[in-house]
Amino acid sequence: MSGCSSPTNNDSSLSFLAPYMIPPVASSLAILPAFHDLVAKSALQKGETIPLRNFRNSFAGALKASPTVGAIVGTQMIFQKFIEKQLISNNESPTLQSSVVSSLFVGMASAPILAVFNGQTMGWSVKESLRKFSLKQSFAISLQETAFVASLSVVDHVTDKVKKQYANLKGVEYAVAFCTGALGSLAGHPANTALTRWQNGMKIENITQLMAGGVRKARAIGIFSVFYKMTKESLSSLSTT
């Protein structure tokens, strides 16, 4: 009848594909405002001066890295959710512990691809990054990515606790996303510094050197986390309308 409507095959297909499409798209867009800080942190980790870039050059570099970030982080978050479901019963909701443990698995599996992305922030090609990949780089990436994936996956858990104490406002949610991302970045930053220096054939000369570029990276990941959350929520609402 003309007065009735029913879900179309396209609608059901979109709902099915949304959980697999949204994380990569959200990640590829969220890296755009954060990429220049990642370039800056790589320079600082190597003891170099932060390269001077205008908006056009910075945005061009971000656009070049965007597909890689979308593929990497999107796959990480999909894989994290899959692992997390295996750790809990069907009638249980994800917990902070299950999010952290599943993030550990993802962090360990991400090493080769993340070596490529870290190389991109230094202007390297995929081939060059993989050629310089080593076991100790794999260990460093596992540590940094466990912290990164955990920071993204625990945002909702932390937000729920914070909203019980404070106002139920979007601003509170985004503040939590920024702080969680920044803290996760700082936790994994020594490993990231070790990775960057090892990729460049440099040694770690002292402990304090491991935090070089830490503030720039924390800001980058905080910004990334906010834009990732905003974009993911916007795309999720579109897929359900």
Give the model confidence (pLDDT) of 107-164 as tens digits.
777 777 777 777 777 778 878 888 878 888 888 888 888 888 888 888 877 887 787 7
In this predicted structure, what is the pLDDT of residue 142?
A: 84
Tokens of 196: 């960057």
Nearest to 109 by CA among 135, 141, 61: 141
Task: Please compute Rg for the chain using Cα positions.
Answer: 19
Average pLDDT in the chain: 83
For the segment 67-102, what is each residue's pLDDT rounded down to a tens digit? 988 988 888 888 888 888 888 777 777 777 777 788
Mapping DSSP to helix (H, G, I), strand (E, B) and coil, where does residue 95 land? coil
pTM of the model: 0.79
**One-letter identity of residue 71:** A
